[in-house]
Amino acid sequence: PAVSLQAGFLKSHHHYEITFTLPDTPTLGKELACLPSFSPTRRPQNLRVQRVNSILEGGVKVNCEYKTHQEGIVQEEMTVVAKGRRDSSLKVRLQAKVIDPHHGTPMLLEGVRSLGALRDPHSRRSSERKKK
């Protein structure tokens, strides 16, 4: 089974918090963990799971951090598994359109919150010292 999620239009080189709820899946149980999907072509993991909690209404609330680097349509995948059991899983696919930070207007869908711009790795360190 797989679940597809849309994050909306995000700015490149930004940091986002994404929170979503997965439906109650009896085969998974209540004690869950998330595994990032492995892909040999993927560079550093941009989507990191922070918390996975069962909720009273049924289902699971997942809180992630997502860092955008490249413009275009992006897709990240993770797998939700029962702790201690890898035979039962749910694949979660997150999709977003990443736009240039200086052109266009971001449109964040429900559960997506901007945490600000990422530091430019090419910027000078002297400008960072002035801020402190």
Please say whether the beta carbons of 91 and 49 come within 8 A.
Answer: no
Domain edges within the chain: 2-119
Residues 6+ apart with CB under 8 A from 129: none
CB-neighbour burial class of residue 77 (10 A; exposed 0-12, middle 13-18, buried 19+): middle
Sheet containing strand 107-108, strands side by side: 32-36, 72-82, 85-99, 2-11, 107-108
> Which pLDDT belongs to residue 96?
94
> Which pLDDT belongs to residue 121?
57
> Which pLDDT belongs to residue 79?
86
Predicted structure pTM score: 0.80
CATH 2.60.40.10 fits 2-119, yes or no: yes
| Residues 56-90: tens digit of each pLDDT | 888 889 999 999 988 999 998 888 888 777 677 88
> Which pLDDT belongs to residue 42?
54
Rounded to whole angstroms, the Cα distance separating 86 from 82 reads: 7
Rounded to whole angstroms, the Cα distance separating 56 from 132 reads: 43
Q: Which residues of the chain have pLDDT under 70?
A: 36-44, 86, 120-132
> Which pLDDT belongs to residue 127?
45
> Which pLDDT belongs to residue 4?
92
CB-neighbour burial class of residue 98 (10 A; exposed 0-12, middle 13-18, buried 19+): buried
> Which pLDDT belongs to residue 122?
56
Separate counts of helices (H) and strands (E) for the chain: 1, 9
Q: Which amino acid is at 88?
A: S
